Structure 1
């Protein structure tokens, strides 16, 4: 135990490997980011917005459930084993998309993708938090989410480019075969489990344990529940953007290459921005970053129906990415700071359960509203909900997030002052 040292510098090799692994994890989502609405319509004749967005619903629900159980089982089975199992599930997915005989089969492939993403992404998040310690936690989350979402953007752009040149299928999905196999090999050969770091930190950490991790994270604890609702709304609007933005761009007669560029800007800015916002969350008000990030997202979404120019839409996509970059690493570093190390994985799992259910809620709500009233009304609704979420952060979440350890230190200082007096 005494040889185990927490910290980014002390564990930089393993940390860098986990960053690379999470880039491959993100790349698996990027496969579907730009081309799936066209894939649904051209290959399977699926025209309904609700039906098209059903693949996001399937993905969101299964990823959310996998997130929760990854958090609960991380201490029992080990982070590496769950990560490896997630990659094993990912390998058949691109083959299933290439040879899918029906849209239902595509939905099933997305069920597997959701399970795989929940296991792999949650494991890399928890493992990085385990090894870096409290000092660089936000920076660590920034690097993790940067790698994942930058890869989403890059692969989304590449699939749009490939689809424009060679067609919607099968060539774009060949990327997925490469990504899943390399991700599995990297994990199996070089990644090490990190449970020993949790034992090390738990021996000195005095943060009070939660009575009921799920209920506290979801409803009761003002800090944790404020973050959880914002995470849900963040992915609710992301689910809408994922499904409806390519449809809007198609209606404006953009080709696959330009659709790929605009849809890629958002996750790319989101990804790169986290290199800076993750570090910021270690030093600046987490509450302020969450409020402004959600507000920026909401305002940029409301502007989409009023725009048709390529450069204006590209700028909106960039602003949306910036808003998301402000909140994404801050969500995780806030929860990590507010929970005991032994309960951290499960609290993060509970948060990620609700956050990724946002994909499903976003796809269902925006799909139904788009079919009934039009795409613009779906966008207005989701944008409005995002702004409401920012106000919940502002008025419900405490300004200072203090661990019990910090409170004890303050009490000790007060007692010493009284004794000296």
Structure 2
């Protein structure tokens, strides 16, 4: 039975909840690598714990692919529909379990990362866009908070559960079983239960029929990337904050394992960061509508930098829990607020394109941060200096944003 589109979370609760489940599963698929990656590299491919560039390549490739697809996902969904792109994202993930299980070299794991990045770029974007389609414009902050909570909750919990499965079945088989269950579940839900939300999106556009013609993409990219000083400040902050997530992904498990923690315990520690980050955004997203966004971003950047530095000089699990809580709180403060601030500084007619460009630079931070961390670790023959690389970068980036970010010309809408 066809329904007349009506905006709001309550009248669309079933589809809204299904899209939250979709982004939780997307987060779970990438989250399985957060703890297990170093063990897989060492146990099944003979990479030494000091093969930092090999580990960094995994994150760098993921970032490049996901960043590129952030630019393409929106236009694809306008032509094909949200649901088709969502399903395409999950179909692109199907090779991942088999490449992990049967790949004869680390290069095959890097290839799996390409498909993982495609899945993230398409399916995560569509799950968010569909929820925005279904809801009122005034609910966007709340929607983003729910979305990030579900996605990074999936990342955090998958880090624990995948570690348990890997301990029981080994790295390859454990990741194969976990990733297959996630992908098949998501595909079944998307194919049978998820509805196309383009009619809801068109209803939004109907409320803004007098909007000016959008700017050409090449011109818009230059304007949003370096032509507007506030957007440049926000883009660089989005890029640099991924250095924090990259070091948590790459080197925190290595550091915890080297200090005597088990794989499952290491996964639990990393999960603290993800759960605080995800859950905190339910508070910080709406809070940023009431207080200075600049203040929240700068404080969040500096909290993350301080927390990363603190982890590198402590060896006590309870201190690590406290420090990971600080890092997660910092990410919760800055992450949704950066996106909201970009929207504040964008003309409504160009907002979707400018947000896509911001996400491109933000996720390119995985690539630049991953390669930078790997290079610093390789040259210094240890992982202490990368912690300082991230801490100092976060402080300087926050300082630059504090100086260069101006107040938006128009009021928040």
Tell me the equivalent position of 1:412.
Answer: none
Give yes or no for contact 1:126–1:345 (8 Å, CA) kept in 2. no
Measure how far apart 1:397 and its partner are: 1.6
C-alpha distance after superposition, 1:153-208 (max 9, x if no partner): 00101122233344323124311111111111212222233333333333444776
Question: Gaps spanning 5+ residues in structure 2: where?
Answer: none
| Residue 94 (str. 1) matches residue 94 (str. 2) | no
Give the 5 Å matches for 1:48-197. Answer: 48-197=51-200
Measure how far apart 1:41 and its partner are: 1.2
Question: Gaps spanning 5+ residues in structure 1: where?
Answer: 407-421
Tell me the equivalent position of 1:239.
Answer: 246
Measure how far apart 1:400 and its partner are: 4.1
- Choose from 290, 298, 305 the match for 1:298: 305
**TM-score, normalization by structure 1:** 0.89
Give yes or no for contact 1:53–1:243 (8 Å, CA) kept in 2. yes
Give yes or no for contact 2:211–2:349 (8 Å, CA) kept in 1. no
Give yes or no for contact 1:141–1:333 (8 Å, CA) kept in 2. no
Give yes or no for contact 1:201–1:341 (8 Å, CA) kept in 2. no
Give the 5 Å matches for 1:401-416. Answer: 402=410
- Choose from 366, 370, 378 the match for 2:386: 378
Tell me the equivalent position of 2:404.
Answer: 396
Measure how far apart 1:127 and its partner are: 2.2
Measure how far apart 1:106 and its partner are: 0.6
Tell me the equivalent position of 2:20.
Answer: 19
Give yes or no for contact 1:25–1:117 (8 Å, CA) kept in 2. yes
Give yes or no for contact 1:295–1:323 (8 Å, CA) kept in 2. yes
Tell me the equivalent position of 2:264.
Answer: 257
Measure how far apart 1:379 and its partner are: 1.1
Q: SS state of the match for residue 283, structure 1?
A: coil
C-alpha distance after superposition, 1:253-281 (max 9, x if no partner): 22112111111111111111112222223
**Change in 2 beyond 3 A, CA 1:386/1:112:** same
**Change in 2 beyond 3 A, CA 1:178/1:402:** same
Q: SS state of the match for residue 79, structure 2?
A: helix
Tell me the equivalent position of 1:288.
Answer: 295
CA distance in structure 2 between the partners assigned to 1:66 and 1:303 by the alignment: 35
Larger CA deviation: 11-20 vs 29-38: 11-20
| Residue 46 (str. 1) matches residue 52 (str. 2) | no
**Change in 2 beyond 3 A, CA 1:195/1:188:** same
Q: SS state of the match for residue 171, structure 2?
A: coil
Tell me the equivalent position of 1:331.
Answer: 338
Tell me the equivalent position of 1:7.
Answer: 8
Number of residue equivalences:
404
Q: Over the residues paired in the alignment, what is the CA RMSD in angstroms?
A: 2.2
CA distance in structure 2 between the partners assigned to 1:220 and 1:193 by the alignment: 36
| Residue 350 (str. 1) matches residue 357 (str. 2) | yes
Larger CA deviation: 278-287 vs 294-303: 278-287
**Change in 2 beyond 3 A, CA 1:213/1:130:** farther
**TM-score, normalization by structure 2:** 0.91
Give yes or no for contact 1:64–1:357 (8 Å, CA) kept in 2. yes
CA distance in structure 2 between the partners assigned to 1:394 and 1:274 by the alignment: 21
Measure how far apart 1:74 and its partner are: 2.7
